[in-house]
Amino acid sequence: EFDETLDVYTEDDNFSETSTESDESSDDSDNVFKDYSAPDFEMPREPKNVHNNNRFTWILLWIMNFKIQYNISEGAIEALLKFMKLVLIVVGGIEFNNFPIFKYKVNKALGLSNEFISFVSCPKCHKLYKEEERPGFENSLRHWVNCSSFDDILCDIYDGEIWKTFKDEPFGEDSALFFCNEKVDSHLGLIVNLDWFQLFDGVSHSTGVLYASIANLPCDIRFKHENMLVLGILPGPDEPSFQKEERFVLL
């Protein structure tokens, strides 16, 4: 009987200790997540140039509200705008020649713009940071300065002839080198890539993404998605020839 009572007491005691540890862990967790405030930032304060005609502003507002309420595609809205312009010109004459028929012109006429502020979210606690607040990123950009080089061995792009001899002014004979220790913080080398992929399953439709990677970064993080710069998207549906691709690259 004594042993059974002792066992029961021990189990209750262990349960109590476990509950206490759980409460302490919960308190520590609360301390970690107590700050939910966003980092300081300033909204864009550029003045909006609104050029509209009060006689048809209400029409544009109704069309935009119609689009939002019924989730109308932009193509259908632009077709409606074109038809509305024809009707207004027939009824009101040349006064409605400036009636917009494209959505981006409607946004401009109404003073609408996409003013988004982007933040970086911590994958563990979801705390928000400014995009430029990336500890160690600047040091990673200076990584190539301290890289070891070997004769007749090419380990990375830094060992190539172009990286070593590329000038600040390509056609200037006395120009300084572009990649040098004095300008390591401001001179970046970009590697431009174009990759194609199938966007939809079961459909032959190729979509291309034109992007750039920063050659100054170490090769192990150079091609991570957070370090990539998206320059453009080629919608397809087919992959153009090299000559046609050049037109996009030259932009």
SS3 labels along the chain: CHHHHHHHHHHHHHHHHHHHHHHHHHHHHHHHCCCCCCCCCCCCCCCCCCCCCHHHHHHHHHHHHHHHHHCCCHHHHHHHHHHHHHHHHHHHHHHHCCCCCCHHHHHHHHCCCCCCCCEEECCCCCCEEECCCCCCHHHHHCHHHHCCCECCECCCHHHCHHHHHCECCCCCCCCCECCCHHHCCCCCCEEEEEEEEECCCCCCCEEEEEEEEECCCCHHHHCCHHHCEEEEEECCCCCCCHHHHHHHHHC
Please tell me whether residues 154 and 240 are part of one structural domain.
yes
233 within some domain: yes
Please tell me whether residues 156 and 99 are part of one structural domain.
no
| Average pLDDT of the chain, as a whole number | 77
Instruction: Using a cut of 0.85, tell me whether the model's pTM lies above it.
Output: no
Give tens-digit pLDDT for 126-146: 888 776 667 788 888 888 888
Please tell me whether residues 100 and 175 are part of one structural domain.
no
168 within some domain: yes
32 within some domain: no
Domain boundary among 110, 142, 177: 110
* Mean of pLDDT values over 214-224: 90
Domain that holds residue 183: 150-250
99 within some domain: yes
221 within some domain: yes
Domain boundary among 62, 90, 110: 110
Q: Is the pLDDT of residue 25 over 60?
A: no
Please tell me whether residues 245 and 187 are part of one structural domain.
yes
The share of the chain scoring above pLDDT 90, in percent, equals 13
The total number of structural domains that make up the chain: 2
187 within some domain: yes
155 within some domain: yes
Given pLDDT bands bounded at 50, 70 and 90, which one contains residue 211?
Answer: very high
81 within some domain: yes
Given pLDDT bands bounded at 50, 70 and 90, which one contains residue 240?
Answer: confident
Q: Is the pLDDT of residue 19 over 70?
A: no
